[in-house]
Amino acid sequence: MAEPQVAYFTYRHQPLKALYIVYAALVLFVVRTPYWVITNLLPAWRPRRSWPLSRVLKVNTIREVLRIAFQTSIGIFLADSEQLAKSAAEVGFVWIEPDPTLIGGEIKAAAKINDVEPARIGGVWYGQRGPDGRVGQQAGPDEKVIYELHGGGWVIGNATRSWDSAYMCDEMIKYADGYARALQIEYRLAQAAPFPAKNGFPAALIDAITGYNYLVNVVGFKPANILVSGESAGGALAFALTRYLVQSRLPTLSPPGALFLLSPTSDLGRTYFGAGSSVEKNDDSDYVQWFLKGYGVRALLGNMPLEEAFTNSWISPAGARVPRVEGQFAGMPPTLIMAGGAEYTLDEQKVLRDRLVEDNGRDAVAYVELPDTTHIVLTEAWHEPERTQGYEAFAQWVSKVNSDVKSAEYLA
Ligand SMILES: *[C@@H]1O[C@H](CO)[C@@H](O)[C@H](O)[C@H]1NC(C)=O
C-alpha cells in the first residue's frame, strides 16, 4: 500500500476514550479551526481557489472528525436491524429474507473463506408509500425504482435517516424523472481487530444480492426498471452487485437497467500514487484518507490474504495490479460514474471508467467530473453549486438512458 500502515483505535478504552475525545474536540475548535482560518484566508491559499472559506473548514473538520472516530471508535459501530425493526412503521423498515441458491461461483468460494452465510437483512424504503401508508407495496406494471447502497468505507454507515445516503435517496427521487421510491438495505458492515473480526468479503455483496432479489421477486419490479446506485464503498458494492448479476446469468434475476456510481472506491490496494497522482494533488481537498489507511481493508478482507486487495477484481476493480482478463467487466448496463475533480481517489475512478469503456464501448459509459469538487458531493447539501450541477447531470443521464430504452423497444 502507498501509505504506511497506521494505528487505529489507540484510545478506544475508557476513560482514555472520553478524555481523548474532549481533548481532540478542544484542539479542533481552539487551535485547528483558527489556524485553518488564518492559513486559508486568501483564496489563493486554499486547496482550490474557487472554494469559499466555509468549505475548507467543512472538509478539514470532516477529515479530523473521521480521524478522531478511527482513533477512539466513537461512531464506529455496526447498524442494528433488530433495533430498527422496533420502529418499523415510522422509518419505513422491512425485513428481507435471503435466497442461498443465488450465491455461486467465485463469490460462494470467497464466502467459505470468510465463513459468511446469506442472512436476513433490514431494508428501509424512501419515497412514496402504499395507499395504506405502508412501505413495500407491490410494484406498478412499469414502475421504476432506485436501489441505493450507502457508503462508509465498508465499516460504517446505515440505511436510516441519520446517514447521508437518505438525503441522496430523497434528492435522486426528486431529480430523476419517473422514480417515486428508493430502497436502501442494512448490508453487513465489516469489522477487524482490535474488535472481533466479522462480515468479511463477500458479506455485503451477498446482502446486496438479497436486497435486489427482494425488489424483483418479492415486490415485483422488472430488473430493467431498477436503477442501482451507490456512493464511495457503496459504489464499489453497486458495481460488484451489477457485475455479479451480469456474469452469473441467474434465471430468476436479470441485471438492472442502469448503474450510477458516485465517487466509487475501487482500488483498496491504493496502487496509484506518487507525483501527479490524485492522492498527492488532492490530499488537502478531500477527507476520505482514514477510510483507506488499513483498517477498512483488513476488515473487508477478513481471512483473505492482503494480496487480494491488489489482485482481486471484485474488491479492487480499478487496481493497477488486477490482472485484466478480456471481457472482465463486459455486459454491464448503461453506467454513469460521477467524480469530483478535488477527490483523493479520483485516479482510480478514471481507471474504472476506462476499463468499463474498454469492455462495453464508449456509448455505454457516461463520466461526469465536477471541477474542484470533493468526495460524494450529492450527499453534501453545503457543496453548492456543484451539488445541484451533479443532480442535474444525473437527471439528464437518467432521462437519456430511459429514452434510449424506449426507442430500442420501439425499433424492436
Ligand atoms: C446510523 O448512523 C448514524 C451516524 O453514525 C448514527 O447516529 C445512527 O445511530 C445509526 N443508526 C443505526 C440504526 O445504526
pLDDT, one tens digit per residue, over 260-295 is 999 999 999 999 999 999 999 999 999 999 999 999
How many domains are contained in the chain? 2
Q: Decide if 1 is inside a domain.
A: no
Please give the distance, rounded to the nearest whole angstrom, from the Cα atom of residue 81 to the centre of ligand 1: 11
Q: Are residues 404 and 316 in the same domain?
A: yes
| Alpha carbon nearest to ligand 1 atom 13, residue | 79
Q: Is the same domain home to 352 and 291?
A: yes
| Ligand 1 environment, Cβ below 6 A | 75, 79-80, 83-84, 158, 160, 162-163
**Residue after which a domain boundary falls, among 34, 52, 73:** 73
Question: Which of ligand 1's atoms lies nearest the C-alpha of 84?
Answer: 13
In the reported structure, the alpha carbon of residue 76 is separated from the centroid of ligand 1 by a whole-number distance in angstroms of 9
pLDDT (0 to 100) of residue 412? 60
Q: Are residues 196 and 143 in the same domain?
A: yes
The Å distance, Cα 331 to ligand 1 centre, comes to 36
Statement: residue 409 has pLDDT above 70: yes
Tell me: the pLDDT tens digits for 105-148?
A: 999 999 999 999 999 999 999 999 999 999 999 999 999 999 99
The boundaries of the domain holding residue 105 are 80-411
Position 3 in a domain = no
**Residue nearest ligand 1's atom 12 by CA:** 79
**147/144 Cα distance (integer angstroms):** 10
Which atom from ligand 1 is nearest to the alpha carbon of 77? 14
> Do 162 and 257 sit in the same domain of this protein?
yes
Task: Kindly state whether residues 200 and 316 are assigned to the same domain.
Answer: yes
**Confidence band of 404 (pLDDT split at 50, 70, 90):** confident
Kindly give the number of the ligand 1 atom that is closest to the alpha carbon of 159: 1
Counting residues of the chain whose pLDDT is more than 70, the rounded percentage is: 98
**How remote is the CA of residue 59 from the centroid of ligand 1, in Å?**
21
Do 231 and 292 have their domain in common? Answer: yes
Residues 69, 84 within the same domain: no
pTM of the model: 0.97
